[in-house]
Structure formats: C-alpha cells, structure tokens
Amino acid sequence: MPCKKRISLDDRGALEGMPLQLIIMVVIAGIAISIVITWLTIFTAPDLAKVELYSAEPETEPMKITENTTSITIKAWDTKGNPLEGVSIKMSGANVLVAGTSGPDGTFTASSLIIDIGTSDFGTIRVEAEYSGTVSITKTINIVVTKR
C-alpha cells in the first residue's frame, strides 16, 4: 500500500517554517549592530602622549631655565598635533606654586614668577599635566633651575 502524504500551504510561517517575528528581530538586530559598529569606527578618542615645556624667554633652552626666568609656558597636544584644551597643570618647587588649565590653543603661561633656589646651585620645578576626557593621562616633567 503506497503511502501518500498531503502537502498543504502553511500561511502561518515565513521562511521554511520560521516565525515572522523571529525574522523581523534578526533583521532589526543586524541593522542595530551595523549602526553601532559604524559609530565606533567614526568616533575615536584623542591620542594623548605629548606635553612640551618652553620658557617664554627665547634664549632659554627647554627643560632648563635660570633663576632670572619670570614666565614659563606649557603647551599640551595630542600625538596628531591637535592642541588640548582643559589640561590641568600644576607647577611646584623653587618657590613656585602655580595651578591652572590650558586654553583653546593648548597653552598655559605662568607669568610674574619669582624663582628662588636659595643658596643651592640648582633646583627643580615639577610640572604635572593631567587631561581627563575620553581617556585620562598624567605627565610629570622636571625643569632644572640653575643660578645662571
């Protein structure tokens, strides 16, 4: 006796019996993942690696100043060369105690300084620069102060 199977149309399913809701959820999830991946590749965090120090006086070399120096300029930028605004800067040592933040051009200038190393031949000014944005980084640099 031959076995006959009756095939009927099933209007309740979508593809090969998969429920329509499941297909809709998979398509929406795929679109959402594509959007999130696109956003992650477009927006990148700044590369923070450089903090440079320059004296405001042209004859003074970077990282080494004399006791007669009256101003120090600190410039902060990322590794792509873009200036970093809002870098918190603290300077201490050799009778200097200054704090502030960098401006839109990435610089902070401490002026009217009275640097005093006392009877010693040299001293140091410790400069701490801290940036908190999408990434947090702190750099510390020592400036050598000499009598001349």
Task: Tell whether pTM > 0.75.
Answer: no
Per-residue model confidence (pLDDT) at position 58: 38
- The three-state secondary structure class of 30 is helix
23-78 tens-digit pLDDT: 889 999 999 999 999 888 876 665 555 545 444 443 444 467 777 778 888 888 87
Mean pLDDT (whole number) for 117-134: 82
β-pair partners for 127:
91, 141
The identity of residue 104, as a single letter, is P
| pLDDT the model gives residue 119 | 84
Confidence check: pLDDT of 102 > 50: yes
Cα–Cα distances in angstroms (integers) from residue 60 to residues 2, 89, 102, 124, in the given order: 104, 21, 22, 15
pLDDT of amino acid 99: 92
Instruction: Give whichever of 14-18, 110-114, 132-136 has the largest mean pLDDT.
Output: 110-114
Q: In whole angstroms, give the CA distance from residue 124 to residue 92.
A: 9
| pLDDT score for 30 | 95
- What ranges do the domains of the chain cover? 13-43, 48-146
Half-sphere exposure of 105 (CA within 13 A, CB side): 5
**pLDDT higher than threshold 70 for residue 5:** no
Q: What is the pairing mode between strands 136-146 and 48-55? A: unpaired
Can you tell me the distance from the alpha carbon of 41 to that of 49, in angstroms, rounded to the nearest whole number?
21
In CATH terms, the fold of domain 48-146 is Immunoglobulin-like (2.60.40)
Mean pLDDT of the chain, nearest integer: 76
